[in-house]
Structure formats: C-alpha cells, structure tokens
Amino acid sequence: MTKNAVHTRVVFLFFLSFQSCFLFSQGLKDTVRLSQVEVTGSFSLRNEGFKKVRIDSNILVQYLSADLSTILSQYSTVFVKSYGNGSLSTPSFRGTSANHTQVEWNGISINSPMLGQMDLSQVPVSQFESLEILYGAATVAKTSGAFGGIINLVSNPDWNNRIDLMLAQTIASFNNYTTNASLAFGNNNVQSITKFNYSNALNNFPYNNDQTKTREKLINGVYVLGGITQEAFFRLSKNDVLTTRLWYSDNNHQIPPITTNTSNLHKEDQIDQAIRSMIEWRRSREKYFLTVRSSLVDQFMRYTLEDEVWNHHSYSWADRVRLVYSGIKNFTIKPGIDFTSDWVISDSYNGMKTRQTLGAFSEFNYDLKKYLQFSLVLRQDMIDGKFQPFVPALGIEYKPFKKINLTFSTNICRNYRFPTLNELYFELYGNPDLIPETDYAFEGGMVYNFRKKDDRFFVETELTGYYSKMINLILWQPDTVSGNFKPVNISEVHARGVEAGLNLAWTLYRFRFSFNNTYNYCRSTNEKATIAGDNSTGKQLIYTPEHTWNSTLTINKNGFYGTYVFSFISKRFTSPDNSTFMPGYYLSNIILGKNFHLKKFILSLQLHLNNLFDLDYQSIVDRPMPGRNYALTLKFNFRK
C-alpha cells in the first residue's frame, strides 16, 4: 500500500466520522449538568489474580499541558528515564527495559515496530481520558513480549452528553506555550469527540554544568508538538456500538547536546509524524460480548545529525477479534485472535523489511463459589510462518471474607519477546541470528479497601511481591571482528521486588482530602557474565533505581484545590559493574487552582510550581533537567 493511499484512507475516515456525528446530533436536548471536579488517586484493580491499575480523569484534568511521562512518574510505580525536558522519555516496569513495555491507544499498539518502544514525551495527556496499567502476567491476554507491562490510553463516550466545549491556554517557564481544545457533542445514539493540542517551547532553561563548572543555558532544545484526534461513537442498536478513531500527531524537536559538548554549533533534531486510525464494532448480548477491531498506524521519523539525514517510515496493520462467553454457570471463556502486519522502509535497512504476526489465545475464568477464582490464559503466536514459544499464564484470586473487601491473589506465567526489526536488520549492526528472549515470572499480592456508606471516608492498601527470570536477553556488545556494537543473546537477568500502595480519601469540615502513595523496591541484577572478566554479575542494571516513592496530598473545597506532589528516586548506577552512579533525588511540585461556576460555564485558573526547591538533578547522565519552573493555565468549559 502506498503512502498516499494510506493517507487518503485515514483522512476519509476522519471526514466520515465528523460529518456523521454532525448529522446525527441535530435536535439535541437542552440539559445543564455542571459537575464539581474532585481529585482522587489511582485505584488498584484485581482480575482473577492479575494486577491492573487505573488512573482516572480526575487526576489527568490537572495535567492538560503535560505528557504521559509526567503522569507515570508521579502516580505509578513505573520508572521513567528522561533525557531532559521535552526530550526522549521511556518507561521501565519492575526492572525491565522499554522494549518490555507496550503502549496502547484504546487497545492497539502504538510502539514503533523498529524500536519496539514508544517515546512517552510524544503522548500528550490531553488526548486521552484515563490510563490502564497492566503488570506482568496481566499482559498475556493482550500480547506477548510485554514482560514489564502495558500502558493503555483510554477514551470513552458520555452518552448523556449534549455539548461539552473546552479551551485552555498554558503559559510556562522557558517560553513554553501550550494550547488545548476539545469539543464533544451528540445524543443518546451518537457521540463525537474532537481534541486538539499544540505546544511550542524555546526550552532554554539555565543549569549548572558539572563538566565546565559554569552556569549555562540549554541550547538546541526547541520543540514544537501538535496533534488532533477525532472519535465517533454510534449506537446502531441497543446491542451494537460502532466506533471510529483517528489520531494525527506532528512533533518536531531539537536534541540538546550533552554537557560535555561545549560547542554552540551543535545541530541535531528529530521529526516524528504519525497517523493512527481505527474502526471497532462491539456487540453485547446476555451471554456473550464480541469486539472486532481493525487499525492502521503510519509512523514517520526523520533524524538529522549535523549534515547527515536518516528517514524511517513504518506501517502497522492490526486486526483484533475478542469474544467473552458466559453462558456456562461459574465459567467464562474469552478467546481471541490477532493479526499484525508490519512493514518498514528505512535508510538504515537494506531494502524494505516486513513482519507478519498471527496470535491466538483463550482465557478461561472459573469461579469456585464466590470466594475463589481461577484464570488460565493460553497463547500461541506465529511470526512469518514460524511458531513461537508457547505462552501460558495462571492466576488465582481468593476472598476469604464476605463483608470485608480483602483479596489475595497470585499468578505465574511464561512469556517471550521476539527481536525488534532494528535488532535484526539495522544496517551493519543488526543480527538476523537472534532468538527470542524468555521470561518466567511469579507474583503474589493483596488488596484491601473500605468505603463508608456516606462516602466520607475511603481507604485502600495494596501490597505485591514479584520475581522474574529473563534469559537470552538481547544486549548490544562490541563485535570481536569489526568492533561495531551488535545485539547478541547473552544476558540473564533476575528482577524481584515489592510494590506497595496506600490511598486515603476523607471529608472533614466540608474539606475533601485525598492522600495517595506508591512505593516500589526493585532489585534487577545481571546473573550471567557477558565477556571474560565481566564484573557486572550480581550487580544492579544501569539506570534502574532500587527505590521509588510517590506521594500526593490534595485538598478541595468550594472549587478551590491544592495538590502537593512528592517523588523520590534512589541512586541509579551508570556502569554495569556499579562502579559509577548518579545520586538519588527528591522532587516536590505544587498545584493550586480555582474553578469559577458562571451559570453554564466553568472558568478555571491553575498554577503549577514544579521542582519547588530548585533541585539541580539529572535523570540520565549529562542530560540536565530544569530547576524551579512555573506553568499558568486558564481553562474555559461549557457544558449543555
């Protein structure tokens, strides 16, 4: 399929979605519903022994001008490696790499088929309404290879909505300006949601250069980010819903030099453009629920270093079929089939490279009375006509008490990850002889929650222990003949740790309080020498902190709200033998806001004060982060 044909198809889909919604929405009823925004935390969910976490819109609404990395680093146990403000940001679950994390948009993968990962700095918070985070074995029913987890960006319609208009403008430090807008309209049978975002920043923040011992300003840090989504939801009948989605993004950012590069002539930048389109049909009956989904993701990247330019263009066509059948007492069957076709044209490949992946799986849920649940997931993939390792997962959930919301759960699974296209085919550096990585994982945990009937008090606590043995991990090592770095299957990594969470919400003297905490202890160590004299055996993986801790305290009354966000990241080693490291750091942020209700309108004013104590820190060595900075947002809402 040619690029023009692909673009024509998605533009037509966008036009069809918008026009159909306009026609269907004639004759909207007049209703007024202005809701008070309450900021709450993320809540742990259990599903037959598998861990899932939700971060809802009440949190995201405070971060309209932020990107996905900000949310994950402040409200989850996921560690985010950031190369700087507005620069590359990648996630790490439980001591795994970014290649072991899949980022999805409403159930379709938006990871690059070349790199096998997604840059979180290119995902604006304003383009989705909530987050679902799946850990470890919970990912097997969706895909293979996500040893760490899945991050799913979710948006759903409000069928009671008639008109919902939002306009927001943010002015921030370092000449950073962000505009967000959204329009949702419809009736009980059709809903349309359009969202727009645009950001531009000089990003020239001052920092202390540890190499030159001088105070400098960041150079070559300009970025411009833009995007628009169009979603349309049609109720074809009481049992059928048709959904179309389109997301276009166009991001252009310069890449600042590392602090050891003192040249003012540094020229490095990257352009990323993507069109993601999807159509989905859902049918619900008394005994079954069917979902059929087809998507096309078109991604283009142009990387420039000085006078050299590399172009990379990839397409991913994915079809998904999911069935949930509950016609047997105490027994639910969830079979599914996936087909994905990737093809890439890259200046770094010798010709076009393709990959076809066919996956079939089924999940079996069995309820033994009301207090014990079992879940078995069986998955088999075929890549380019060759069967891949079989993937099983077993989860158990136990609720010992009828009137106490206490749940114990455990799961065990085997998983694999097939090498990325870059690892196989990157010119001069790829290795076509690589074999899949394999992961053996175990997890156990508990969740307790209590809510008073009058909703004046809520408490939830969560504790999870995990262990993962990953073998044949792919590492880039210098070739003995050419000296070039090439990927090879030589590493064995053991990751183990504990995740804990505590969420509280209560009302006192008409003040609403919420206090949310997450903590992760992670030991992720190399257990196999890669070369003679290797001193990395038994040592913590680089850029993997042992301790991460996030706390958020929010107070809300009469439209006023204030939030204090605290984050701690322990030291990260920068050498495989742990001889060098970056010190740990504490970050504090404050959010202050007020919602003014003006008849049918809501006017909101919000101030972000980031890095409150002006900490001088780096997430990645020689990549400075900004000191104390501000962001002021004015937002207008109209709902009818």
**What are the structure tokens assigned to 476, written together?**
């880039």
Q: Is the dihedral of CA 115, 121, 126, 130 positive or negative?
A: positive
Specify whether the CB–CB gap between 295 and 278 falls below 8 A: yes
Q: How far apart are CA 125 and CA 392, in angstroms?
A: 34
Superfamily of segment(s) 3-26+39-639: TonB-dependent receptor, beta-barrel domain (2.40.170.20)
Specify whether the CB–CB gap between 34 and 52 falls below 8 A: no
| H or E element at residue 593 | strand 585-598
The set of residues, in sequence order, having a beta carbon less than 8 Å from that of 327 and lying 6+ positions away, is 287, 288
To the nearest 10°, the Cα dihedral for 595, 597, 600, 604?
Answer: -20
Specify whether the CB–CB gap between 373 and 400 falls below 8 A: no
SS3 helix, strand, coil % of the chain, rounded to 5?
10, 60, 35
Q: What distances in angstroms separate CA 471 from CA 375, 438, 545, one per listed residue? A: 26, 5, 21
> Can you give the pTM of this predicted structure?
0.91
Task: List pLDDT tens digits, range 161-174.
Answer: 899 999 999 999 99
Q: What is the pLDDT of residue 482?
A: 67
Q: Strands of 101-105's sheet, edge to edge?
A: 43-47, 50-55, 130-135, 149-154, 101-105, 108-109
Q: Which regions of the chain are under pLDDT 50?
A: 1-41, 43, 45-46
Q: How far apart are CA 419 and CA 413, in angstroms?
A: 20
Pairing relationship of beta strands 391-398 and 560-569 according to DSSP bridges: unpaired
Q: What distances in angstroms separate CA 67 from CA 29, 85, 88, 96, 300, one per listed residue? A: 35, 11, 11, 22, 20
Chain centre to alpha carbon of residue 625: 21
Q: How deeply is 302 buried, as exposed, middle or buried, from its count of CB atoms within 10 A (0-12, 13-18, 19+)? A: middle
Give 181-184 contacts, CB < 8 A, sequence gap 24+. 182/126, 184/157, 184/158
As a three-state string, the secondary structure of 288-315 is: EEEEEEEEEEEEEEEEEECCEEEEEEEE
Q: What is the pLDDT of residue 283?
A: 97
Task: List pLDDT tens digits, range 10-56.
Answer: 444 443 444 344 333 333 333 333 333 344 445 454 477 899 999 98
| H or E element at residue 8 | helix 3-24
Q: How far apart are CA 610 and CA 630, in angstroms?
A: 6
